[in-house]
């Protein structure tokens, strides 16, 4: 049975332990709280940056819709400079590249697409840029370069890569390789996709082609 003296002894031990350890406990508490609030602050900062980048991206789309290309370019440059790690910077470059293609500024389009291929964190965005870069090279008549650009991982965009490969092979006069690429694209395209009908027409145009 515990006695009054046992209680006093335990109290004294607790006081002694507290005197010896309170600084370490206080320091640990401060560090712990600092880590918690620091993490929350960092998260809030990241969320605010994402919100800012998102708004700039929406402003860029509106500027393009309104025909204000200079304003759109300024926003794209700002996103690249300050928000390169967000998907909005890559999205802005893709949109500006598409705008450059419309005005036949193909070198500018190529540079913007290359930026996406090198900097975008999302693999899908990089593959979209890869596909569009090959299309630009095709438009420029750089057929061999375009085929090289199509090499590599294609992910969910494989049918589009194969179709473009077929277009380029056909432009080179290689009807057999074109048909083979179209067949591969056709087989991988869902039946409910409109692009499947276009692929069928392309195959029909090459119906007389004998593959080696």
Query: Over the stretch 51-79, which tens digit does the pLDDT of each residue have?
Result: 888 999 999 999 999 999 999 999 999 99
Residues 105-113 have a mean pLDDT of: 96
pLDDT score recorded for residue 14:
62
- Cβ within 8 Å of residue 35, ≥6 positions away: none
Decide if 100 contacts 106 (C-beta within 8 A): yes
Give DSSP secondary structure letters for 150-180.
T-S--GGGHHHHHHHHHHHHHHTT-HHHHHH
CA 91 to chain centre: 8
Decide if 196 contacts 186 (C-beta within 8 A): yes
pLDDT score recorded for residue 9:
61
Does 212 have pLDDT greater than 50? no
49/199: higher pLDDT: 199
Residue owning tokens 């650009």: 149
User: Percent of the chain at pLDDT above 90?
Assistant: 66
Element holding 72 (H helix, E strand): helix 69-82
Q: Which of 97, 138, 95 is nearest to 114 (CA)?
A: 97
Tokens representing residue 115 in the block: 């930026």
pLDDT score recorded for residue 6:
54
- Among 5-9, 10-14, 70-74, the range of highest mean pLDDT: 70-74
Does 91 have pLDDT greater than 80? yes
Direct distance between the N- and C-terminal alpha carbons of the chain, in angstroms, rounded to an integer: 99
Residues 149-172 have a mean pLDDT of: 93
**Average per-residue pLDDT for the chain:** 86
Decide if 138 contacts 112 (C-beta within 8 A): no
125/20: higher pLDDT: 125
Q: Which of 168, 166, 190 is nearest to 178 (CA)?
A: 166
- Among 15-24, 48-57, 115-124, the range of highest mean pLDDT: 115-124
């Amino acid at each position: 049975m515990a006695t009054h003296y046992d209680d006093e002894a335990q109290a004294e031990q607790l006081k002694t332990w507290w005197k010896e350890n309170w600084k370490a406990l206080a320091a640990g508490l401060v560090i712990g709280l600092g880590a918690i609030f620091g993490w929350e602050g960092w998260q809030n900062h990241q969320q605010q940056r994402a919100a800012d980048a998102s708004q700039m991206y929406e402003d860029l789309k509106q500027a393009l819709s309104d025909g204000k290309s200079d304003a759109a370019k300024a926003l794209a440059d700002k996103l690249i400079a300050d928000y390169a790690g967000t998907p909005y910077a890559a999205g802005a470059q893709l949109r500006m590249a598409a705008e450059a293609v419309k005005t036949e500024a193909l070198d500018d389009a190529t540079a913007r697409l290359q930026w996406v291929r090198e900097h975008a964190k999302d693999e899908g965005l990089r593959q979209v840029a890869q596909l569009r870069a090959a299309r630009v090279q095709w438009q420029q008549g750089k057929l061999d370069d375009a085929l090289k650009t199509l090499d590599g991982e294609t992910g969910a965009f494989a049918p589009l890569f194969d179709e473009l490969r077929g277009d380029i092979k056909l432009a080179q006069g290689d009807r057999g390789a074109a048909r083979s690429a179209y067949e591969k694209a056709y087989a991988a395209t869902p039946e409910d996709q409109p692009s499947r009908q276009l692929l069928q027409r392309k195959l029909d145009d090459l119906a007389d082609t004998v593959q080696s």
